[in-house]
Structure 1
Amino acid sequence: MKLPGQDAIARQADEHLVTRRVRLPRRVVERPVRQVGKRLALALLVLVATVLIVYADREGYRDSSDGSVDFLDAAYYATVTLSTTGYGDITPVSDAARLTNILIITPLRVLFLIILVGTTLEVLTERTREEWRLNRWRSTLRDHTVVVGFGTKGRSALQTVCATGLKKQQVVVVDPSAKVVDAATADGYAGVIGDATRSEVLKRAEVERARQIIVATQRDDTAVLVTLTARQLNRGAKIVAAVREEENAPLLRQSGADAVITSASAAGRLLGLSVLSPAAGMVLEDLIQQGSGLDIVERPVTKAEVGRGPRETDDLVVSVVRGHRVLGYDDPSVDALQLTDRLITIVRATPVTQVTPHARPLPTD
């Protein structure tokens, strides 16, 4: 039984969840409180300097109340002068005092106003600048990579694809935790706070225009819902998802995932292989760690390789992709390579393997 007003509270919570702002990476700057503190300190320094200047030349000023100017009168005159109030009860009467007002106090007044007005304008224009950056980011974002979940799996996946040349500006991280998104933006990625099972949140990540989507959530049921939502919004994107339990992999494929990585089973198989052969485990670990030792990449067949066998190429070919089939290098049907084939090869890693239309790394987890 629902309590009165419970639906309204739930709707407000949902709206708050999906309307949180997109966070873009920015250069490291001072904290706002520290910036304001510095400006206030500078304004106070200007005020103190003006008080001392007036007090040093107090004989050149006249107070309409008693005729003389003491330190309190100097502080009062400096305050009303810098704030452009100017009551006129204390006035410079000597030529030296008037010249000091023209050459020193007036520039100090301008500096004082610039400090105060500049601080106010910066606060007022901060939101406008953020909106401008966000609109510019949305208008230029195309064929990017969306990563749902910035845990261990999500970070490792991003490290792998970025090691092959993917720019951080082409990555958007989606996570329900504000702290996690802050960590992502600190690393140079754009971030969206929210539940990725909601289409509104994925739309904020511009998932409709994404080229590939990596689903690395903590729960398998969440991964299924995210994959379903992402596939509805983008029919052509490549979706790679991770699940903990192998029995949930078929459900993810039915939801629209192009590739499913079973993290628990994959880790278990690597552990077993390392027990049987530590060297083989080290080689496999090296292969899935992009950018060091050996890399496994996918590339097209060159014209010079057409008609040859997989073993006759310069690279170490382990599989041939023909259409939607992945064939072994020793499969009888791939005696002669075709121009439309793609080769899965093992190559020596370079410092940065650039991602081009002709060669791309295989998705690993």
Structure 2
Amino acid sequence: MKLPGQDTIARQPDEHLVSHRVTLPRKIVEHPFRQVAKRLSMALVVLVFTAVIVYADHDGYKDNNGDGVGLLDAFYYATVTLSTTGYGDITPASDTARLVNIFVITPLRVLFLIILVGTTLEALTERTREEWRLNRWRSTLRDHTVVIGFGTKGRSAIRTVCATGLKKEQVVVVDPSSKVIDAAAAEGYTGIVGDATRSDVLRRAEVHRARQIIIATQRDDTAVLVTLTARQLNRGAKIVAAVREEENAPLLKQSGADAVITSASAAGRLLGLSVLSPAAGMVMEDLIQQGSGLDIVERPVIKAEVGKAPRDVDDLVISVLRGHRVLGYDDPAVGKLELTDRLITIVRATPGTQVTPDLRPLPRD
């Protein structure tokens, strides 16, 4: 089956293929030029302060030319002293001037060097620090969630998963746009710039050690290739993919997706339901939005519920997950609830309540 636009996949911008950088989340810092300007200003303040101290006690300094120490000479002495040049043409002669040099000028000299040299050292060590952070991130990343595509669908999926208690540090975003990855990093997610249909890009996201993979690309053909590549790298991860056209859903499942969401059809059905019954449409939209109104949650059966029928449970049970089968609440095969069952229920959302998601792979067709 040839999907629309499949022959154009290879003609992506070159930056998508070569810029496979990893962007770790970081705090927002000032622009480098602003940092340098601020440090130069601090160094200038130290220089002026030192010159003022020298000029205030200019009688205690000796100039080799014998004409005394003026304001310009004070700035000259402060400059060569703070920079550790020390030509020796102007020297402290009195005991007071020497004490001031010991307890004031010398600490100012150290401060001056720290300000200027610190800027250089920070620039030189930035790359080393980033490499260390990256190696540490790779060594500690396990059972994380990889999200392919940080568009509207990808963002909504991440927010829903994080609402269940998943930490942002356990989310890795892959997208071909560097601007999108920068936006993801600003929100606290680790980002990989690159084409997710390439195995080397997915390896940078540590897909082979991921527990869940969410594929929210803009094109169905890209979603198929990403699913094939991800499944090849990780046989045990739960893969959930979104497609625009319903006819492409079976192809995604054949490629290795555990669950496929048809975005266009789902939106269309919600529109139709809202036309037939606006109230029903509002309820469905409320169920979709995590953390407000009504929520659909999956939870295990507790001991007090064992042996009861789904209708007898306090929560509103709509389905029972038994093994790899999803049974309706009224399915005769359910019978009595067992301790190993899991329930799909509708509950009233409570602020601050976290729901533990089920991370077991879904049954495949």
Q: Identify which range, 210-219 or 351-360, moves more after superposition.
A: 351-360
Give the 5 Å matches for 1:31-50: 31-50=31-50
Please state whether the residue corresponding to 1:333 is helix, strand or coil: coil
**Normalised by the size of structure 2, how large is the TM-score?**
0.89
Q: Which runs of 5+ in 2 are unaligned?
A: 1-9
Shift in Å at residue 282 of structure 1? Answer: 0.6
Q: Which runs of 5+ in 1 are unaligned?
A: 1-9
Matches of 1:346 and 1:15, distance apart in 2: 45
Shift in Å at residue 357 of structure 1? Answer: 6.6
Query: 2:297, 2:355 within 8 Å by CA — same for their partners in 1?
Result: no
Matching of residue 135 in structure 1 with residue 121 in structure 2? no
For residues 69-89 of structure 1, give each alpha carbon's deviation from its aligned partner in whole angstroms, at most 9, with x where no partner exists: 333322222111111111112
The amino acid of 1:333's aligned partner reads: A
Please state whether the residue corresponding to 1:251 is helix, strand or coil: helix
Match of 1:194 in 2: 194
**Normalised by the size of structure 1, how large is the TM-score?**
0.89
Please state whether the residue corresponding to 1:195 is helix, strand or coil: coil
Match of 2:342 in 1: 342
Shift in Å at residue 175 of structure 1? Answer: 0.8
**Cα distance change of structure 1 residues 55 and 284 upon mapping to structure 2, 3 Å threshold:** same
Query: 1:300, 1:359 within 8 Å by CA — same for their partners in 2?
Result: no
Query: 1:173, 1:184 within 8 Å by CA — same for their partners in 2?
Result: yes
Q: Identify which range, 163-172 or 307-316, moves more after superposition.
A: 307-316
For residues 165-194 of structure 1, give each alpha carbon's deviation from its aligned partner in whole angstroms, at most 9, with x where no partner exists: 111111111111111111111111111111
Match of 1:112 in 2: 112
The amino acid of 1:199's aligned partner reads: S
Matches of 1:234 and 1:14, distance apart in 2: 27
Matching of residue 316 in structure 1 with residue 329 in structure 2? no
Matches of 1:77 and 1:292, distance apart in 2: 69
Query: 1:300, 1:342 within 8 Å by CA — same for their partners in 2?
Result: yes
The amino acid of 1:160's aligned partner reads: T
Shift in Å at residue 16 of structure 1? Answer: 8.2
For residues 209-255 of structure 1, give each alpha carbon's deviation from its aligned partner in whole angstroms, at most 9, with x where no partner exists: 11101000111111111111110111000000001111111111111
Matches of 1:46 and 1:39, distance apart in 2: 11
Give the 5 Å matches for 1:1-365: 17-18=17-18, 20-356=20-356
The amino acid of 1:114's aligned partner reads: I
The amino acid of 1:108's aligned partner reads: L
Matches of 2:99 and 2:276, distance apart in 1: 92
Matches of 2:285 and 2:167, distance apart in 1: 24
Shift in Å at residue 206 of structure 1? Answer: 1.0
Shift in Å at residue 18 of structure 1? Answer: 4.8
Cα RMSD (Å): 2.3
Matches of 2:16 and 2:121, distance apart in 1: 28
The amino acid of 1:191's aligned partner reads: G
**Cα distance change of structure 1 residues 340 and 96 upon mapping to structure 2, 3 Å threshold:** closer
Shift in Å at residue 120 of structure 1? Answer: 2.1
Shift in Å at residue 95 of structure 1? Answer: 2.9
Please state whether the residue corresponding to 1:327 is helix, strand or coil: strand
Please state whether the residue corresponding to 1:225 is helix, strand or coil: helix
